[in-house]
């Protein structure tokens, strides 16, 4: 399995609370020898879900992508 993990955190509206969460996550990761390799301020999961649910989206594309992702995961484990 990959040495990466993905978390989705819904940040509060309050800027001070938001900063505390972001800084806390960074400090936790760095103090344990990890590194943040990517970050996003967009909700790609919701966007992808909306694309997949669109009436013009061919379902075979999503099915092929899921099969390829499963294959990559299987290769990473073995």
Q: What is the pTM of this model?
A: 0.52
Beta carbons of 26 and 36 less than 8 angstroms apart: yes
7 phi-psi bin (left φ>0, alpha ψ -120 to 50, beta other): beta
Domain with 67, as residue range(s), is 40-78
pLDDT over 80 at 67, yes or no:
yes
pLDDT over 70 at 1, yes or no:
no
Residue with tokens 């509060």: 12
pLDDT of residue 2: 60
Average pLDDT score over the chain:
87
Tell how far CA 30 is from the center of its chain: 19
pLDDT over 80 at 20, yes or no:
yes
Judge if 29 and 1 occupy the same domain. Answer: yes
Judge if 44 and 78 occupy the same domain. Answer: yes
Tokens of 26: 């960074």
């Amino acid at each position: 399995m990959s040495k990466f993990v993905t978390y989705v955190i819904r940040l509060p509206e309050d800027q001070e609370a938001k900063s505390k969460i972001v800084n806390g996550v960074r400090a936790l990761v760095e103090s344990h020898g990890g590194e943040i390799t990517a970050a996003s301020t967009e909700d790609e999961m919701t966007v992808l879900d909306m694309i997949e649910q669109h009436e013009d989206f061919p379902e075979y594309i999503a099915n092929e992508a899921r099969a390829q992702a499963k294959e990559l995961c299987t290769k990473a484990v073995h």
